[in-house]
Amino acid sequence: MKNVSIEFEKIRNQAKTLINQAQNLTTLETIRVDLLGRKGKLADLMVVLKDLSIEEKRTLGPLANQVKTELEELFQQKKNNLFNDSLRQEEEHYAGFDVTAYKTGHKKGSLHPYTQLTQKNIAIFTSLGFKISDGPEIETEFYNFEALNIPESHPARDMQDTFWIDVPGMLLRTHTSTVQIHTMQEGNLPIAVITPGRVYRQEATDASHDFMFQQLEGLVIDKNISMSHLLGTLKTWLHLIFNRNDLSLRIRPGYFPFVEPGIEVDVTCPFCTSGCSTCKKTGWIEMGGAGLIHPNVLKAGGINPEIYRGFAFGFGMTRLAMLIYGINDIRLLHSNDKEFLKQF
Ligand code: PHE
């Protein structure tokens, strides 16, 4: 019996020393398993207890339990201490780390030409009292065609080669004019909005065509809107976007089922006076289509054409970005080539 109680004392002392010395949680756990684990030293000793007399068990039993609880408490205490120490060390490690620190010489990013142009357009049009409107790029036939006065059998559906989606009646929008209807349906009148956004057409890719490009849609609806409001707005935009007052607009009749009358808008070539390769020696650059909203479109948008009128325009922003930033291949504009983008 003496021997067994000495053994308990031994384990108690050994454990105390080992626990004191443990430097980290992993070592501590190994020690714990070795002493207090199911197959540990203390458990071995408990087995010996079973073969002792009742008398002996009476004194040694409580001793065994006392040693066990004592050691468990010691382990827990040490575990807490080690855990707090590691937290403190981590805090000290990061104390000198300033996430807001700025070091000179770091490489700076730049905004994509599209983003720059969009921001300019937004600044110009919001200064004229326009709001920004948005709509989905995955659309229904209704918003892309039907509501825009392009019924199913209408040949104008072929003007824009559409990407159809596997879901019947769904497509990738071929123009931002879809947002005209979404905006009208919101029901707030009068309306003056622009929509910058991506559009998709099934076209073979070359230096000046891609299956995705960007447009800028404009929509104004009020009681007495006329062609002169449209032309005045476009002229103001033209002077502000190029920051030049000497550029003019030219309009030609144009057919778009959602406007009547419809026009094609050209602007004086900003790069030459007598014809260059950009304007193909014509002195004019095509900007896009525009016109007064067709009554059927107002109706589709839930607006009474007897009371309200409006104008809309849809300009090619991809082409404009290429002109303004001197990009001669659309594929560069749409690639994520950092060396190319660094220039802007
Ligand atoms: N949505 C037409 C296109 O993509 C452009 C346009 C917009 C024409 C608004 C007239 C009015 O070609």
Rounded to the nearest angstrom, the distance between the alpha carbon of 177 and the centre of ligand 1 is 6
pLDDT value at residue 2: 65
Domain boundaries, the chain: 2-93, 113-341
pLDDT value at residue 263: 98
Closest protein CA for atom 10 of ligand 1: 290
Rounded alpha-carbon distances, angstroms, from residue 244 to 47, 272, 344: 98, 13, 21
Contact 12, 71 (CB under 8 A): yes
> Which tokens is 339 given?
């060396």
- pLDDT tens sequence across 78-115: 999 999 998 998 888 888 888 788 777 777 788 999 99
Closest protein CA for atom 7 of ligand 1: 314
Ligand 1 test: best mutation among 144, 201, 227, 258, most atoms within 8 Å of CB?
Answer: 258
Which residues of the chain are under the pLDDT cut of 50? none
pLDDT value at residue 262: 98
Closest protein CA for atom 4 of ligand 1: 175
Contact residues of ligand 1, CB 6 A cut-off: 175, 177, 256, 259, 262, 288-291, 312-314
CATH number 3.30.930.10 given to 113-341: yes
* DSSP3 helix / strand / coil % (the chain, rounded to 5): 45, 20, 35
Q: From the alpha carbon of 199, which atom of ligand 1 is closest?
A: 4
